Amino acid sequence: MDTRLLLLLLSLLAFIAQAELKKHGKHDKRRGREKKHRGRFEDWAREFDQSDDQSEDDDDEHDGGWLLELQEVRGSCDPNPCLNNGVCEERRNGKIKCDCPKPFKGRRCEKAKKVCRRNTCRYGTCVLTSTPPFYECKCKEPFKPPRCESDSICDPDPCQNGGKCVKDGRNFECVCPANYDGQFCQVGPEDCYEGDGESYRGKVSETEDGDECLYWNSYFLLQRGVDPFTAFDDDDGLGPHNYCRNPDGDVMPWCFIRRGRKLRWDHCDVRECSDNMTTAEPPTTTRSPEPEPVATTTKAPDVTTATTPAPVSRNATCGKPQPRRMLQRIYGGMKAIPGANPWQASLQVKLSGSNQDFRHTCGAVLIHSCWVLTAAHCINKNQDMQVVLGGLDLGKKEDFEQTFAVEQAIVHEKYRETSAAVYNDIALLKLKARNGRCAVETQYVKTVCLPNATFPDGTECSIAGWGATEDSDYGSSQLMDADVLLISQDKCSDASVYGRIVDDNMFCAGYLQGGIDSCQGDSGGPLTCERGGTHFLYGLVSWGDSCGKANKPGVYTNVLNFMDWITSKTGGIFS
């Protein structure tokens, strides 16, 4: 008896195993490299999506019906054995029957009628629905449902304010009446911003470079960890639209844009009310009260002449950023708040004497109107250097930038590089004064304070830079910032982290689990820690094993240990 039961069991197992093999074999062939077994409904959806089936029949092989065939249709309706919302009915003979909603059929409502075929949705994707006709076409722009065939994109006319829709291949263009602008002629003559544009509620939805703004509630933003509705102090003015706004104290309205898979932001192509437009009503504006280094038309490279603020020196104003408002940061560094890192500088180089353009190579930090600190490994012979202060977007010439040539570079005498680490990675750059002045203090250009005491392990400090990010090896054109934690020297020199190559003139900061970190291109830039509302330069980005890797946090030059060196090299201006 026992042996017979065992034999029966074994043969049943063998049968099932064979059936499994057969099934998987088919799937693998059909899907090329796709080997993952998907849920049944997904399988259908996938098949339908690529439906080029000749056979009308619903094929048991790929919808799992083969397994149901093996089973008895006996049983009870509790729990409901009918799939896809089928209604179960118990028959007197102990069998059950599934009443299947359309488009499902089969004993357990496990099969679906193939409503999606190759050309069901010509330029789009066919998806199943539960109501007739049981499919829906998700069309690629500019094609229209029901079957994504018609591209009568001017019907209905998307242009507003009397704009005329003109078809241009698969695109359209709105020819706007005088004084109207924007993709849909939605931007009227009175559409302009005042001051910094915080109160702007107009309809411009394009950036200065012509990129189309993302919707503030776009799924793409959420996917990248950005929820504008919670990220900003003031989400007033944001909504389910893609109009430019300034919720974070920037200098003018801006919006998020998408560049391939990357999320970026940019200032908008929106008019300032005081820029008179010939036919527009004379605006009644109150300009922002601060005297800002504004260059009027083409952006002047030398803005030190545009305002008369005091030269930056090391005084009580060091380490006091003036972002327009204190805001929550986005995603550990999506969009650095203008004015939040006013000591951040970009060290740019070109081949000595060449007429190449300068390119960003490292970060640097303004510690005095004529001095910046950077990493020693950023200084190379045969290169001309310049330092750009106040910039946020390296891809643009910004009104509030200040650019200086480098008069002198002082690399630490004991700077040394091994294959594993960099030692005494610090250098001073003396800016070349113009008309007897170096950096001029503005909201965007300020010195950081030099440290006079240690900060405890675990302190949350801040790093910033234009270096490489998760999705751009070449660095980011926009300044990013992020918060990192100071990691104890013990942990940093633990064998599982960097071991004995770490010395006391450097420290680790970041997260041992990985993630947020500085990276290539950030070197020489600041790690600042705050005490009593003042920001101190505690570290300079120096090195690390890869970026953002677990147990391999960023390593920073310990600025406190180099205070005497800094004092002696700068002629005592810091003593």
Contacting residues toward ligand ARG, per CB under 6 A: 467, 517-523, 541, 543-544, 547, 554
Cα–Cα distance between 496 and 484 in angstroms, integer?
19
Amino acid at 555: V
Query: What are the percentages of helix, strand and coil residues in the chain, rounded to 5?
Result: 15, 25, 60
* Cβ proximity to ligand ARG, 380 vs 575, nearer residue: 380
Is 523 assigned a catalytic role?
yes
Distance in Å from the first CA to the final CA of the chain = 98
CB of 435 to ligand ARG, least distance (A): 33
Long-range interactions of 468-474: CB distance < 8 A, separation 24+: 468/519, 468/520, 468/521, 468/522, 468/547, 469/333, 469/519, 470/548, 471/261, 471/262, 472/262, 473/520
Cα–Cα distance between 149 and 254 in angstroms, integer?
36
* Cβ proximity to ligand ARG, 371 vs 543, nearer residue: 543
Cα–Cα distance between 373 and 371 in angstroms, integer?
7
Residue nearest ligand ARG by beta-carbon distance? 544
- Catalytic choice (425, 481, 517, 522): 425
Using alpha carbons only, what angle is made at residue 448 by residues 442 and 453, rounded to the nearest 5 degrees?
155
* Cβ proximity to ligand ARG, 103 vs 521, nearer residue: 521
Two structure tokens written together for 404 = 């200086």
CB of 388 to ligand ARG, least distance (A): 16
Q: Which residues contact 347 (CB under 8 A, 6 or more apart)?
A: 360, 361, 362, 363, 364, 372, 374, 378, 385, 386, 387, 429, 524
CB of 361 to ligand ARG, least distance (A): 8
Cα–Cα distance between 452 and 448 in angstroms, integer?
12
CB of 348 to ligand ARG, least distance (A): 14
CB of 523 to ligand ARG, least distance (A): 3
- Catalytic choice (377, 412, 462, 493): 377
CB of 317 to ligand ARG, least distance (A): 29
CB of 524 to ligand ARG, least distance (A): 7
Q: What is the dihedral of CA 84, 85, 89, 95, to 10 degrees?
A: 20
* Cβ proximity to ligand ARG, 100 vs 537, nearer residue: 537
* Cβ proximity to ligand ARG, 58 vs 522, nearer residue: 522
- Catalytic choice (205, 218, 369, 523): 523
| CA distances to 187, 236, 270 from 201, in Å | 11, 10, 11
Continuous segment of H or E residues that includes residue 45: helix 40-49
383 three-state secondary structure: strand
| Positions marked catalytic | 377, 425, 523
